[in-house]
């Protein structure tokens, strides 16, 4: 009987510990949910969030299909990387781009630098333009190199990621702005993509990780909510406005914390707020996530 009572006592202690841990996790999620709810307030927008650090995990509106906009350039770069590795092509390989492929009516720092000439450029630099500078022409060229937009969608699914759809190029979305809603993702799905890219010990996407660390767009989004001295790799997405409504204003990134990677995805859909309010909302949510992770501090201005 003593052995039975001892076993029962041990089981009870273990059960108590598990319940306490679950309660602590629920309290953490509740606290973060309350902070984020206060940030969103009565803003005219739909917000989706996914965040993960150590044993902290939080999602908001994970059944809503948020338009990715240029965040999908992360998926494109992953598919191109896989294609290069499959075909034994070095990222330093030089490709020739006819000036006719550089469309004038789209955001393209690459075309601005080379307005009237053909270009010889490495694949790595083309990826940098697409991801770090969000160049639309570079993105569509990379989609062709990967094997088409359907291959991009198929490849990401082959990694075990679900809860998204990618069917449109930058050219098709510019031809019909409503098609930007066709490239969509749940917040958790985008977090899963980031976890593949930044998986510890996995070198497949080392080039992409470095490029995302150098992203020049959206410094007022996730980076603005991160304390000085912490490295941030991220990819932004932003749409035009239709009737004053911004279809999407997004940022998805990784904050390199002392205890490991903190993954943060913030999607804003159908916002009637200003661009600055959208960006400030993303930054504030980032600060709330890092505070919950115990890694908040004086944020960048």
Among all residues, which ones are annotated catalytic?
Answer: 70
What radius of gyration, in Å, describes the C-alpha atoms of the chain? 21
Rounded CA separation 130/133 (Å): 6
Q: What is the C-alpha to C-alpha distance for residues 161 and 12, in angstroms, rounded to an integer? A: 38
The CA–CA distances, whole Å, from 24 to 29, 53, 57 equal: 9, 15, 12
Query: DSSP letter string over 25-74?
Result: HHHHHHHHHHHHHHHHTT-SSEEEEEEEETTEEEEESTTS-EE-GGGHHH
* Extended strands (E) in 230-291: 232-238, 241-242, 245-257, 260-271
Size of the chain in residues: 301
- For 228, phi and psi rounded to 5 degrees? -55, 140
């Amino acid at each position: 009987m003593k052995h039975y009572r001892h076993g029962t006592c041990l089981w009870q202690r273990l059960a108590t510990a598990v319940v306490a841990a679950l309660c602590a996790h629920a309290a953490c999620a509740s606290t973060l949910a309350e902070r984020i709810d206060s940030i969103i307030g009565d803003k005219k927008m739909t917000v989706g969030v996914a965040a993960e650090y150590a044993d902290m995990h939080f999602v908001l509106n994970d059944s809503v299909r948020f338009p990715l906009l240029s965040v999908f350039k992360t998926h494109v770069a992953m598919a191109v990387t896989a294609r290069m590795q499959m075909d034994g092509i070095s990222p330093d390989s030089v490709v020739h781009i006819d000036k006719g492929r550089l469309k004038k009516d789209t955001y393209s720092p690459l075309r601005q630098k080379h307005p009237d000439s053909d270009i010889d450029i490495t694949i790595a630099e083309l990826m940098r333009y697409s991801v770090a500078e969000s160049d639309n022409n570079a993105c569509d060229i990379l989609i062709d190199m990967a094997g088409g937009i359907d291959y991009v969608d198929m490849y990401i699914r082959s990694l075990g990621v679900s809860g998204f759809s990618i069917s449109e190029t930058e050219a098709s979305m510019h031809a019909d702005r409503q098609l930007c809603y066709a490239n969509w993702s749940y917040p958790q799905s985008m977090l899963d993509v980031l976890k593949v890219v930044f998986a510890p010990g996995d070198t497949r996407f080392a080039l992409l990780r470095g490029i995302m660390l150098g992203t020049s767009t959206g410094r007022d989004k996730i980076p603005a909510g991160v304390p000085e001295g912490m490295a941030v790799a991220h990819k932004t997405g932003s749409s035009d406005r239709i009737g004053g409504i911004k279809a999407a204003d997004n940022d998805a990134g990784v904050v390199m914390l002392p205890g490991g990677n903190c993954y943060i995805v913030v999607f804003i859909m159908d916002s009637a707020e200003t661009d600055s309010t959208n960006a400030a909302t993303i930054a504030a949510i980032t600060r709330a996530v890092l505070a919950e992770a115990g890694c908040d501090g004086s944020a960048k201005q």
